[in-house]
Structure 1
Amino acid sequence: MTKPVSYKRHRFPPQIIAHAVWLYFRFPLNLRLVEEMLLERGIVVSYETLRRWVMKFGSSYARRLRRKAPSPRDIWHLDEVVITIAGQQHWLWRAVDQDGYGLDEIVQTRRDTKAAQRLLKRLLKKQGCPPRRMITDKLGSYAAARRQIMPRIEHRSHKGLNNRAENSHLPLRRRERAMQGFRSPGGLQRFVGVFSAVRNLFIPTRSRRSALAIHLHRLNAMAEWKSAACIAA
C-alpha cells in the first residue's frame, strides 16, 4: 500500500502546498506565475519554495492517484518526439491507449530499436498484459522491437492512424514553452511522470463530453486529487 504523504516540518498548511502543486501541473504555468497567483490570495511564498514542493510532493501525489486498470482489449498508440535539452537532442517516447489515456513515457537519447524495446518492456511490466493491437508511425524500430518483445501482437504502421499518439505531445509542448525548456533529462522524466498522471485524472474520456458529464468528472477528479494529497475534501 502506498504510504500517506507527510507534511512534517513544513510551515505552510497541506492544503496550500497541494493547491500550488496542482496549479503547476494542471495548467501551463511556470513557477513565477504560480507564485503570483498565490500572492493574489494573500499567500506569500517564493518560487524557489514552490520548486521544492513540486519536486518533493509531485511524484508522491502521482503514485497515489488511481490508475486505469490494464486490459488486453486496449490498443496501444506509440510515438516519439524530439526535445532539446542543453543543446542536445533527446527523445521522449510515449504510449497512449485508444481513449488517449497516457500509459507510459520514457526519455532516451536514442531513436532506434533498443529504445523502442525499452519502451515496450516498460509497458508490459507496468500494464501486466499485452494489448490487442499496437499502432505506430512508419519508424522501423517499432516493428523490429515488436517482433522481439511481443511477436504475436498485431501491429499497424501508418502515419495517419497514429494521430492520437502524436496529439498527446501537444500539451507537453505548451508546457515546454511556458517553462522555457527543460534543464536535464532527469528533470524532464520526473516532470512528465507527474504531468501525465494529473492529465489522465482531469481530462475526461471521449465518451464523456456533455457539459454535465465534464462537470461531474472534474468534481470527482478534484476529490481524488485531494485524497491523493491526503488533505480534507
Structure 2
Amino acid sequence: MSSGVPSYKNHRYPAEIIAHCVWLYFRFPLSFREVEEMMLERGVIVSYETDRRWCLKFGQAYANSLRRRRPRPGDKWHLDEVFIKIGEVRKYLWRAVDAHGNVLDVLVQNRRDTAAARRFFRRLLTSTGQVPRVIVTDKLKSYGAAHREVMPSVEHRAHKGLNNRAENSHQPTRQRERAMKGFRSPGGAQRFLAAFNGISPHFRTGRHLMTARRHRLEMTVRFTIWDQITGVAGMPSAA
C-alpha cells in the first residue's frame, strides 16, 4: 500500500466496501439512506450513519489524493461567486477553476466584499502553490480591490462574458444542493463541497465529446486510479 492511502485499521468492513459507499455518495445525487439501500440490494448491510461517518473520514482524503495526481493547473484562472442558502441565511460560494475547467478551490463565506475576495485569493495561492498569469472574473468591484492588494503583478480581466467557464462549474453543485434540499451549516457545506469537488469531477469525462469506446477506456483508467488512491488495488478482499 502506498503511503498516501488512508488507514482502514480497526474498520470492520473491507476497504472496497468503504470506498464504494464514498464513491456512490459523492459521485451521484444520493442521500446516505439511499446509499444504504443500494448496498443492501447487493447483500451488504451497512447503516446510513456508518456511510456518513465514512464520507466524513475518507472523502476529503480521497479528494486530496486525486488532486495530487492531477496535472499542474493552467496559468489562467477563472473565479466566480454564487449565493447558496444555508437554512434561511444567504452565504456565498467562491470558486476558482483553471482554463481546462479543473476546480482549484472552493470557499464558503458570509460576504462577497473585498475582504472575502482577498481571503479567497490568498487561499488559492497557498493551496495551489503557484501564481497565475491571468485571472478572469466578473465585474464585481471586490475582485479588483483584492487583486491590487494580493497579486498586483497578475493580469486581471473583468468581463461577464469571459467567465462562463467558472459559472458553468457551479452547475454540479447546484444539482447536488437541490438533491440535498440545501446545506445545514456553513461548516458542513464547506466540508462536503471540498470533497465533492475533488471526487466528482474525476468521473466526469466529457462523455459528449467522446466515442463510446474512448469513454469506456477513459473510465477504466479513472477507476484504476480510484482503486489506487483508496487502497483497494492489490488489497485482500477482507479487512
TM-aligned CA deviation for residue 213 of structure 1: 3.2
Quick one: which amino acid aligns to residue 25 of structure 1?
Answer: F
| Pairing 1:33–2:24 present | no
Equivalent in the alignment of 1:102: 103
Quick one: which amino acid aligns to residue 188 of structure 1?
Answer: A
Mapped contact 1:5–1:229 kept (Cα < 8 A):
yes
Equivalent in the alignment of 2:78: 77
TM-aligned CA deviation for residue 104 of structure 1: 0.5
| Pairing 1:154–2:155 present | yes
Mapped contact 1:77–1:134 kept (Cα < 8 A):
yes
Q: 1:119 to 1:209 in 2, by over 3 A?
A: farther
> Please, which runs of 5 or more residues in structure 2 have no aligned partner?
235-239
- CA distance in 1 between counterparts of 2:102 and 2:41 reads 34
Residue 68 of structure 1, aligned match among 61, 67, 70? 70
TM-aligned CA deviation for residue 67 of structure 1: 4.0
Equivalent in the alignment of 2:25: 24
- CA distance in 2 between counterparts of 1:195 and 1:70 reads 20
TM-aligned CA deviation for residue 208 of structure 1: 6.5
1:206-233 C-alpha deviation (Å, 9 max, x unpaired) = 9963433332221111111111111126
Across the two proteins, how many residue pairs are aligned to each other? 232
- CA distance in 2 between counterparts of 1:159 and 1:22 reads 35
Stretches of 4+ aligned residues off by more than 4 angstroms: 205-208
TM-aligned CA deviation for residue 15 of structure 1: 0.7
TM-aligned CA deviation for residue 2 of structure 1: 5.4
SS in 1 for 2:163: helix
Q: 1:83 to 1:19 in 2, by over 3 A?
A: same
TM-aligned CA deviation for residue 13 of structure 1: 1.5
1:111-139 C-alpha deviation (Å, 9 max, x unpaired) = 10111111111111122222121111111
Mapped contact 2:87–2:182 kept (Cα < 8 A):
no
Q: Over aligned residues, Cα RMSD in angstroms? A: 2.0
Equivalent in the alignment of 1:218: 219
| Pairing 1:180–2:152 present | no
1:95-122 C-alpha deviation (Å, 9 max, x unpaired) = 0011110000111101101111111111
Q: 1:225 to 1:99 in 2, by over 3 A?
A: same
- CA distance in 2 between counterparts of 1:165 and 1:188 reads 19
Mapped contact 2:97–2:105 kept (Cα < 8 A):
yes
**TM-score, structure 2 as length reference:** 0.90
> Please, which runs of 5 or more residues in structure 1 have no aligned partner?
none
Mapped contact 2:95–2:106 kept (Cα < 8 A):
yes
Matched-pair identity in %: 55
Mapped contact 1:92–1:105 kept (Cα < 8 A):
yes
SS in 2 for 1:99: coil
Mapped contact 2:136–2:156 kept (Cα < 8 A):
yes
Mapped contact 1:61–1:229 kept (Cα < 8 A):
yes
**TM-score, structure 1 as length reference:** 0.92
- CA distance in 2 between counterparts of 1:78 and 1:207 reads 25
- CA distance in 1 between counterparts of 2:120 and 2:69 reads 18
Equivalent in the alignment of 2:231: 230
SS in 2 for 1:130: coil
Q: Which has the higher contact order (CA 8 A, sep 6+)?
A: 2
SS in 2 for 1:43: coil
- CA distance in 2 between counterparts of 1:38 and 1:213 reads 29
1:66-120 C-alpha deviation (Å, 9 max, x unpaired) = 343435x521000011111122111110000111100001111011011111111
1:154-183 C-alpha deviation (Å, 9 max, x unpaired) = 111111111111111110111111112111
